[in-house]
């Protein structure tokens, strides 16, 4: 079965650089979520999109932005990177059935800021 | 904001022993989901509980949702080495505007001693 695809899987950047993370949800899933997970921490919700519109916003810094495109893939853009941005970034998607659905997580992108 | 706490943070058990993790929310939940994250992996959905007092079983795993829909537990009977990982509860909160937000608990990291 198709899963959530994230790219790249690993990314190394310098401070103050920018990074773009991509997420391809499971086909026919209409909601995409982004999470940040620091070492030994629980996933922290950043932002979500439903049908290409931002549906909710969590603890996403102003330096970050995200969008969902017409093909439902999503990108998380991160600018002026800081050392503290080093983390595992997960994308998750959920299907349109029911009002509240489980989230299917991608393998994550490990971002290291030097 | 909503907070979801889990105890214990770490649990080391002998293979074959039982294991329980407890999840508590500061506010009433619409539903609660449980995820398992293996070391180096991504969260994988286990189950969703919706009704007050609901109990669900998956083989050796028993999930409970409290009557007040503010707490939940996961009990594993006769643990096996394959149970190793971090177990997260995740509470679904519905805002006054109808937005859904999944807030992950702090997680319980289970280690099995063979």
Mean pLDDT of residues grouped by 10 in chain B (114 residues)?
Answer: 88 97 93 94 94 96 96 97 96 74 90 92
* Residue A56 pLDDT exceeds 90: no
Point out which residues pair with B34 in neighbouring strands.
B47, B89
Q: Does A25 touch chain B (CB under 8 A)?
A: no
pLDDT at A52: 87
- The arrangement of secondary structure in B4-113, i.e. its CATH architecture, is Sandwich (2.60)
Number of A/B CB contacts below 8 angstroms equals: 49
CA nearest to B104, candidates A58, A43, A54, A27: A43
* Residue A67 pLDDT exceeds 80: yes
CATH code, A39: 2.60.40.10
* Mean of per-residue pLDDT scores for chain A: 92
Q: What is the mean pLDDT of residues A60-86?
A: 96
* Residue A100 pLDDT exceeds 70: no
Q: Locate the chain A residue with the closest alpha carbon to B4.
A: A42
- The structural domain count of chain A equals 1
A5-19, A60-74, B8-22, B85-99 — which is least confidently predicted?
B85-99
CA nearest to A84, candidates A114, A109, A110: A114
Q: What is the mean pLDDT of residues A26-52?
A: 91
**For chain B, what is the radius of gyration of the CA atoms?**
14
* Residue A19 pLDDT exceeds 90: yes
Q: Using DSSP bridges, classify how beta strands A5-7 and A53-57 pair: parallel, antiparallel or unpaired.
A: unpaired
Q: Does A102 touch chain B (CB under 8 A)?
A: yes
Q: Does B100 touch chain A (CB under 8 A)?
A: yes
Q: What is the mean pLDDT of residues A79-99?
A: 89
User: Which residues in chain B have their CB less than 8 angstroms from residue A60's CB?
Assistant: none
Mutate: best of B86, B100, B105, B107, partner A, most A CBs <10 A: B100
Q: Locate the chain B residue with the closest alpha carbon to A107.
A: B42
């Amino acid at each position: 079965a198709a899963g959530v695809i994230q790219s790249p899987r690993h990314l190394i950047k310098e401070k103050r650089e920018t990074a773009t993370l991509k997420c391809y949800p499971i086909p026919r899933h209409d909601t995409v979520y982004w999470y940040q997970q620091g070492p030994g921490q629980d996933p922290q919700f950043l932002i979500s999109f439903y049908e290409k519109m931002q549906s909710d916003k969590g603890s996403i810094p102003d330096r970050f932005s995200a969008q969902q495109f017409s093909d439902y893939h999503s990108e998380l853009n991160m600018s002026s990177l800081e050392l503290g941005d080093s983390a595992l970034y997960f994308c998750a998607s959920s299907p349109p059935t029911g009002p509240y659905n489980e989230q299917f997580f991608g393998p994550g992108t490990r971002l290291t800021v030097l | 904001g909503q907070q979801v706490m889990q105890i214990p943070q770490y649990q080391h058990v002998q293979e074959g022993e039982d294991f329980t993790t407890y999840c508590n929310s500061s506010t009433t939940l619409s539903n609660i989901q449980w995820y398992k994250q293996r070391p180096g992996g991504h969260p994988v959905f286990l189950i969703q509980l919706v009704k007050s007092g609901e109990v669900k079983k998956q083989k050796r795993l028993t999930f409970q949702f409290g009557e007040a829909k503010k707490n939940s537990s996961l009990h594993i009977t006769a643990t096996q080495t394959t149970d190793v990982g971090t177990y997260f509860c995740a509470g679904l909160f519905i805002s006054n505007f109808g937005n859904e937000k999944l807030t992950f608990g702090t997680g319980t990291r289970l280690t099995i001693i063979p």
